[in-house]
Amino acid sequence: LIAMKLIVLLMIVSLSRVSAEGFGQGITIHEKSASIPAILHNIEKQSKYNFFYEKADFPTSLKITVHFDHVPVETVLDECFKNQPVTYRIFQQTIVIKKSVAPKPEDIVSSPDTTITVVGLVQDEKGRGLPGVSVTVKNSKYSVNTDINGRYHIPAPTNGILIFTFVGMQKQEVAIAGKTTINITLNLATEELGDVVVIGYGTQKRRDINGAISSVKAIDIATIPQPSVDQLLQGKAAGLSITQNSGAPGSNTSVRVRGVTSLSGTNEPLYVIDGVPISGDANNSSTSGRSPLQTAAGYTYTQSSVSPLAMINPNDIESIDVLKDASATAIYGNRASNGVIIITTKRGKNGNAKINYNGYAGQQQVSKYIHMMDLKQYARLQDVMSDIFGVGRRPDLADSSLLGAGTDWQRLVLRKALQQSHQLSVSGGKDGMNYYVSGGMLQQDGIVIGSGFKRYSFRSNLDAQVKEWFKLGLTLAGNRTAEDVVQGDNNGIIYNALLQAPDLTAYNADGSYSGPPASDPLSVTGVINPVAQAKQITNHLNRSNLNTNLYNDIRFTRDLTLRSELGGDFNFSDNNLFTPSYTWGRFVNTNASLNERSQQSTYGIWKEYLTYQHTFAGKHILTALAGHEVQQANWRGTQGFRQGFYSNTVQSLNLGQATTATNDEYKGSQSQESFYARVIYNYSNRYSFTATIRKDKSSKFAPEHQIGYFPAFAASWKLSDEAFMQNIKTVADNIKIRLGYGQVGNQEIPNYLYGSPLNASVTGLGTGFLLNQIANPNLKWQTSIQYNAGLDFSLFNRRVDATVDVYKKTSRNFLFQLPLPAYLVGDFTYLGGINPPYVNLGRVENQGIDITLNTHNIVSEKVKWNTSIIFSHYNNTVKELGTGLDELIGKVTNGFLDVAATRTVVGGPIGEFYGYRVKGLFKTDDQLSNAPQQFNRPVGNNSAGTWLGDVQYQDLDNNKVIDAKDRVALGSPNPKFTYGITNNFTFGDFDLSIFLYGSYGAKILNLLDRTLGGLAGPYQNQYASVAGYWTPTNPNTDIPAPKVGTDNPNIFVSDRFIHSGSYLRIQNINLGWNVPARWLHRAKIGGLKIYSSVQNLHTFTSYNGYDPEIGASNQSAILTNIDNGRYPLARTITVGMNVQL
Amino acid sequence: CKKDFFNRPPADTLTLDNFYQTTDQVQAGTNALYNSPWFDWNNKASWSIAEMMGGNARTYSPDVINFSNFSVTGDNIQLSAAWNALYSVVAQSNGVINNLPTHVAKTIPAAVVNNALGEAHFMRAVAYFYLVRTWGNVPIITNSLDYVNNYQVNTNPVTDIYKFILNDLQFAEANCTAMIRNGSKTQGHVSSGSASAFLAKVYLYMRDYANARTEAEKVINSGEFKLYGVDIAGKTYADLFKTANNNNEESVAALQWQGGSAYGHGNSQQAFFAFTSQITGTGDGYGSVAGSIDLTSSYEAGDLRRKPTLMYPGDVYPEIDQAHGGFTVPSNAISQGTSALLKKYVVGTPADNGGLGAAFSTGVNTYLMRYAEVLLIEAEAVLAGKASTTDPAALGPVNKVRQRAGLSPLTTVTQDNIMHERRIELAMECDYWFDLGRLDGFNVTSHPKAIAIIDNQERGIYSTTTPVVVWSQKYNISDANFLLPYPTTESTLNPKLLQAPVPYHF
């Protein structure tokens, strides 16, 4: 993967024709009689450069003196090497130094077998001659070096093989086959290039890390038209399971790093954006407990949370590093139990300023429609409904020959929608001052009418080398989003569009919105006009975010640095929900209402940490870190409500009736202080050991339980560098074994759970007070313990690179809100109930394996083909719950009923589906009279009885009665594995990327099957597929007969509604053309790439809903993969352009 | 960092540690027991159970239709709502009972503390009274903290629950302040007389007629409550259900809603009862439920209670939609297949109610008991199970209630007379189903009389055809239908609910 990424990265760089010589970091160096390695080390310290060279090339006796201030690195190197027989080349941040030996006549040794002299040119990928490349005739001692221009000539046998080697480049072998001229291009040996990984409070080279860390670079996600970075990570990093919980623009995504660890808290990772930690929890459950977005009264279990990451412009991101195992995350201690994702944004580099435009525009389309009954089928069903409801049939539907196809509501609420993104950035650096400034705009209209998302983002990243010993920098990002949100899920737009009757039209003859007729009492089961609902009931959310980090580095000695950081994250949001006055059939609102919320949160962090790095005796490399930090978060919000508006157009509280006004406030704060230390010891680049300890003190707990300690250890052994492994290097290389162990914590719970708040409550007697919470003064830290074993290796001269990690992650004493029965705590707290206590309870285990495989299938000069495969598997098991807690139920509202959809029991996965198993339909009187009685319903042809055509359930507990005890596990919402396969092809100036993403083995509970296939009420459209329901004349079917009421056993949750959630999606296809530099030169354009991409092209699945990627309801672990009318994902076709000046 | 840095108590709520420090705080400490914990009971569950199962009301509304056809399962959302709400009342009452004595400042007068404790006992008793009548055996919980670590408790038998209710009401009777009701809005809290009235009703259910009579007469003789329109001139039965008359002299105990407040704090019944949003002016008004043929045909001719209970086409209600000169029920008005639309607890637009009101949020109190019922209890206690009586002690109270209804006085009283009077007087006040449940005796498992009544109830509708016929719906029910199933989520968490009850240790 790394290799692939770097190659693609280099392609872009070469495209941009920014010469590597232009780089420089403003080196300031004053050394007297120092060795060249010491000078190089100094440069490494103060810049981002890494050097590759043979120590033997610089005898220790060689001492030189240099004095420079703020000069390009080349100036220093030229001075160092002016009398030395070496050359150097700069690749990105890596400088390779090689002995330069001009070919001397005596090097060309005559050989008796020589028949020809081969000449040629060796170039790098940018077409520049490479001096000092070693050219050897295979199986001989004949060897020459290329000259300063990269040319060589060597005597060789006509059928011989030439081997080209150069430090930092991939070795190449070329058969001579009689040719006398052989020109070749050497590619970067990427593994050697010391890819840098951010490990938290520091960086390490990829080859040195001991933990399990996946990295994604900007280039991997650059041309995927997804607005949010969490969505972009899907299928790009092993160990991450990512699902988009809704297709609505700006909605939340579930990111699960190595499974699910918490039942009632968040399972989202901690994001660290340029040093500022931000929770991925869209519900803010550990702070305000509120999503910035409100939902209309009465809508529960609907997606109401919005993505905190939608605020960030992905184009500004340089790299993403995913810290997966506890040995890697332990440095983040108490907030690390769900993994840590470190996002580093782009920064300026010394050299010529670059102006970069990156933009795309395209169209989102609906990728699937669900086949509903047409008007004729619907009319027949209404007759049956009238019969079973005991009323006369509707005369307007009597003559089916007069009926057409009816209204296709899906096509009325779904549309083609625009998506576009534009970003302009300027970056560069001069005299020790680097800058990156960008501005971006994104617009994503929703494919459901009435929904849309806009983002304006600005970023300014500055770094200044003020003094040789003092550097400071500022990251400052401002973002503004505007969202129009439509009601989703249960009773939402999609749900209602599917359910709406086809005999209704969206508009009445006079142009007003229609609805189920008020004149017919049966229409009480009809649903609101979804077109009107989407367009007229407006829910608008504006969010503003300021994310900033100010840092400075003070270098006390060459080895010892103090870094200070002051970071902040500030969020301000406004949410207006306006319900106009309307008359839409039987749905009438004479009194418009407005609910306005204004919310703000501030977060601040102050860090101080010392880093010491020293190499003892050339072999013992020690990196030590010690730090201290303090964090504080504050939040507050107010809400105002009025109704009785005389106009629907101007929406302000001022215009409502003052007597109807209500208001509300919430506020709170939390704090934390931490100390941490880390030691990384490396011996001879073969053995490495990391130890980390962190101590956190948090306001979340009662004073005696506030402190937690989180230790971690990791070790690695680079097996392939051992002498005894030298023989297999040609087959397998870079073999490293890693082992890690660590403990991390979790505190993502609400405040003051150790006490008993008395909530003020409005009553007719004045303000009242309700006990809000059963206190648990003994509440303490949750601990997640994780073991990790990893293996890195490459095969066949790095044509294949692989990383495999296996892990076991156990959450002990996890923080969990006890699901006490209602007879102890009553109703929801807003309805006067008491919150059950949070407890430290039980044990949940996740075991899994992450595999990353990168292969270079074709590596020729003109054609390249790389493949990257990501594979993630985990097995989630609840090992222990509290005593007496047998199962935890996950409930969803479907229609107007609470449906117990999932349970969590010891030995099973979190949130498995459960319900009844269907035996078949009652088709004979015999079956009716002999079968166990179901749900106390005697045999009888009425709505309260069991009759022919009803579903017969299996008596799984064999007690001759069908009741709630016959429910069993019906499958897990967790996939057995997920995978991403990316194929990148390059043909000259064209590149093609094909990205497949798949998920295998998960189950889906489609609650729409209840609503859309339940045949339980009039005025509701149904699946076309259930038109063949049971009747005495149609006995050979498995579709039950219509039945009155949604609380009828035919539509209880059973295996009828469970579907396979396996799918393979063509997630993205991207074709790019790098316009040749020679065409751009005259226009002074540095580089131009034009690309076209298709996102979500096709999904191979057997699922009957819109899309098998369901995700979780508001990120809830126990309500995952339940389809309740989810906003579908769009297929997006875009054309984009990347211009660099 | 200093210790204070880590001390982050809530910034937007009080806590137990800083409450109950003033008399005002102690008095306000019980306000919420009259409000949101009852919301989900009042919202839909109470009338779904008592009126739809009782046969007074009918619906097509899919979420509650199963109550009217006796096919409610443990998964029904309103079944859970009833259970959850009643136990919310229990839990919050327990909160006051357990926390007030330990946290209250020493300076607070004992009478203030005792009155608050009395109110909490009263509310707990009323909640258990609904629980035991709906489900039979249920667990008695006096402190949730006792069961946090082991919440799988057994149910307690019906007789123990009644005993527990009596204990609580007797505590309330002894500790609540006595008062004489003067119709002032501040008299929303229950009094010792409220407790006596409920004691009378509970004794009546237990067929302890002597005690029922004693308690009823205690209330009647105290003069605390008065019958609107008889004892209080110039008022009518209809006036009882106006927001302006909340906490009137007839109100024995009532839930105290705040009109226009957030969901959960106002009375939401109008949203489902009002048959059109023209009545509510707040977008709701779904007409989810309407009067049954069986109820409408039960009214005696000239009963003045019909119009304040049910709207018929052509009726005029000047107090509703006053801005447009009052509300006239359209001639084609129909809801749930009948033209008997609900009026009781339908109070009109916010403007009709002093500007207070919102969707799902009117300010009209929900009666837990009215003085009229105390009079009917007295009559039934005097009758004491006999076939009939001409005892003036029974005739007097019944006829006082009939007098207000504009009906001629009875000369003898039978149990059927009283049942009929209760049904009509208390229609849509969530009582009839429970009356049917006690018809065959206290804590019986066989209900022949009640089943006979229900089997004959016409629960269908009038046809839309000409000539109009009855599209009949009748249900043959069994003794098992008299108790509802436990919510499935509860019996799943605690399978012991399904086991035989165990005696409660008093």
Pairwise CA distance, residues B271 & B269, whole Å: 5
**B467 upstream amide cis, omega within 30 of 0:** yes
Q: Which of residues 297-316 of A touch B (CB under 8 A)?
A: 297-298
Read off the pLDDT band of A12 (50, 70, 90): very low
At A720, phi and psi to the nearest 5? Answer: -70, -15
Nearest residue of chain B to residue A762 (CA atoms) = B265
Mean pLDDT across B315-321: 94
Kindly tell me if the per-residue pLDDT of B257 is higher than 90.
Answer: yes
pLDDT-derived band at B314, boundaries 50, 70, 90? very high
pLDDT at A520 over 80: no
Say how many C-beta atoms besides its own lie within 10 A of residue B131's C-beta: 23
Residue A483's nearest CA partner among A311, A600, A254, A641 is A311
Residue B332 reports pLDDT greater than 90: no
Domains and their CATH numbers in chain A: 22-99 (3.55.50.30), 105-191 (2.60.40.1120), 196-350 (2.170.130.10), 351-372+408-907+975-1007+1053-1135 (2.40.170.20)
CB contact under 8 A, B10 and A591: no
Arithmetic mean of pLDDT, A586-606: 89
Give pLDDT, residue A294.
Answer: 81
pLDDT at A389 over 80: no
Tell me whether B411 touches chain A (CB under 8 Å): no
Any idea which of A369-383, A656-670, A722-736 has the lowest mean pLDDT?
A722-736
Q: What is the DSSP string of B18-64?
A: G-S-SHHHHHHTTGGGGSGGGHHIIIIIHHIIIIITTTSEE---TTT
On chain A, the residues whose CB falls within 8 A of the CB of B279 are none
pLDDT (tens digit per residue) in A806-816 = 999 998 888 88
Q: CA torsion, points A614, A618, A621, A624, in degrees to nearest 10?
A: -20
State the DSSP string of A588-652.
EE-S-EEEEEEEEEEEEEEEEEEEEEEEETTTEEEEEEEEEEEEEEEEEEEEEEEE--S-SSS--
Partner A, chain B 280-339, Cβ-Cβ below 8 Å: 280-288, 332, 334-337
Residue of B nearest to A643 (CA): B358
Band of pLDDT at residue A91, cut at 50, 70 and 90? low
Q: Do B13 and A760 touch (CB under 8 A)?
A: yes
Whether the per-residue pLDDT at A23 is higher than 60: the answer is no
Mean pLDDT of the B196-220 span: 97
- A458-512 pLDDT, tens per residue? 999 999 988 889 999 999 999 999 999 888 877 889 989 999 999 889 999 999 9
Looking at residue A575, its pLDDT comes to 92
- A156-204 confidence digits (pLDDT tens): 888 888 888 876 677 788 888 888 888 888 876 654 444 778 888 888 8
The answer to whether the CB atoms of A771 and B99 lie below 8 A apart is: yes
- Most confident listed range (A447-451, A654-658, A938-942, A1112-1116): A447-451
Task: Calculate mean pLDDT across residues A539-547.
Answer: 92
Handedness of CA A529, A530, A532, A537 (dihedral sign): positive
Which member of B59, B92, B495 has the closest CB to residue A770? B92
Per the DSSP assignment, residues forming a β-bridge with A722 are none
Interchain contact A646–B (C-beta under 8 A): no
Cβ(B67)–Cβ(B78) under 8 Å? yes
Q: A-chain residues within 8 Å CB-CB of B7?
A: 699, 703
CB contact under 8 A, B149 and A884: yes
Nearest CB to A659 within list B14, B350, B494: B350
Pick the more confident residue, A84 or A104.
Answer: A84
pLDDT value for A19: 35
Q: Nearest C-alpha of chain A: how many angstroms from B306?
A: 22
CA–CA separation, B432 and B68 (whole Å): 13
Asked if B17 reaches chain A (Cβ–Cβ under 8 Å), the answer is yes
Can you give the pLDDT at residue A763?
A: 93
Hey, which bits of A47-93 come out as E strands? 50-52, 63-71, 86-91
User: For residue B336, what pLDDT is reported?
Assistant: 75
A287 Cα to chain B: minimum distance (Å): 11
- Of residues B43 and A146, the one with the higher pLDDT is B43
Interchain proximity A390–B460, CB inside 8 Å: yes
Q: Is B188 on the interface with A (CB under 8 A)?
A: yes
Residue of A nearest to B190 (CA): A765
pLDDT confidence band for B260 (50 / 70 / 90)? confident
Query: Is there a contact between A824 and B151 if contact means CB atoms under 8 Å apart?
Result: yes
Q: Is B180 in a helix, a strand, or coil?
A: coil
Flag whether residue B365 sits within 8 Å of chain A, measured between CB atoms: yes
Mean pLDDT for chain B overall: 92
Comparing alpha-carbon positions, the chain B residue that sits nearest to A287 is B10
Which one of A581, A588, A749, A823 would you mutate to disrupt binding with B, by most B Cβ within 10 Å of its Cβ? A823
d(C-alpha A149, C-alpha A132), whole Å: 9
User: Which whole number is the average pLDDT over A939-951?
Assistant: 83
Question: Residue A827: its chain B contacts at CB < 8 A?
Answer: 37, 39-40, 81, 84-85, 87-88
When mean pLDDT is compared across A220-224, A385-389, A830-834, B326-330, the lowest value belongs to A220-224
Q: How far is B230 from chain A (nearest CA, A)?
A: 27
Distance CA A901, CA A850 (A): 30
Instruction: Compute the average pLDDT of residues A668-697.
Output: 91
Which phi and psi (to 5°) does residue B353 adopt?
Answer: -125, 45
Distance CA A609, CA A566 (A): 12
**Does B466 contact A at CB distance below 8 Å?**
no
Overall residue count recorded for chain B in this entry: 506
Residue that wins the pLDDT comparison between A205 and B166: B166
Name the A residues in 323-352 with CB < 8 Å from any B CB: none
Mutation test of the interface with chain A: which of B277, B466, B483, choosing the one with the most A Cβ atoms within 10 A? B277
* pLDDT > 50? residue A1106: yes
Range name among A291-305, A712-726, B220-234 with the lowest pLDDT average: A291-305
Chain A: closest CA distance from residue B341 (Å): 12
Q: B92–A521: do the CB atoms touch at under 8 Å?
A: no
Q: Which chain A residues touch B336 with a CB distance below 8 Å?
A: 521, 524
Dihedral, CA of residue B410, residue B415, residue B418 and residue B419, to nearest 10: -140
Query: So what's the ipTM on this one?
Result: 0.94
CA distances from B336 to A478, B276, B339, B370 (A): 55, 12, 8, 29
The answer to whether A666 and A290 have CB atoms below 8 angstroms apart is yes
**B473 to chain A, minimum CA–CA distance in Å?**
8
Residues A1040-1066: tens digit of each pLDDT: 998 877 678 888 899 999 999 999 999
Q: Which of B371, B435, B90 is nearest to B235 (CA)?
A: B371
Give B-chain residues touching A891 at CB under 8 angstroms.
489
All residues of chain A having their beta carbon less than 8 Å from the beta carbon of residue B17 are: 755-756
Residue in chain B lying closest to A761 (CA): B32
Q: What is the DSSP letter of A907?
A: T
- Tell me the nearest-neighbour CA distance from B82 into chain A, angstroms: 9
Mean pLDDT of chain A: 84
Average pLDDT over residues B238-262: 94
Instruction: Please indicate whether residue B382 or residue A384 has the higher confidence score (pLDDT).
Output: B382
* A and B: number of Cβ contacts within 8 A: 391
For residue A22, the model assigns a pLDDT of 36
B147: contact with A, CB 8 A cutoff: yes
Q: Does B68 touch chain A (CB under 8 A)?
A: no
A769 vs B: CB within 8 A? yes
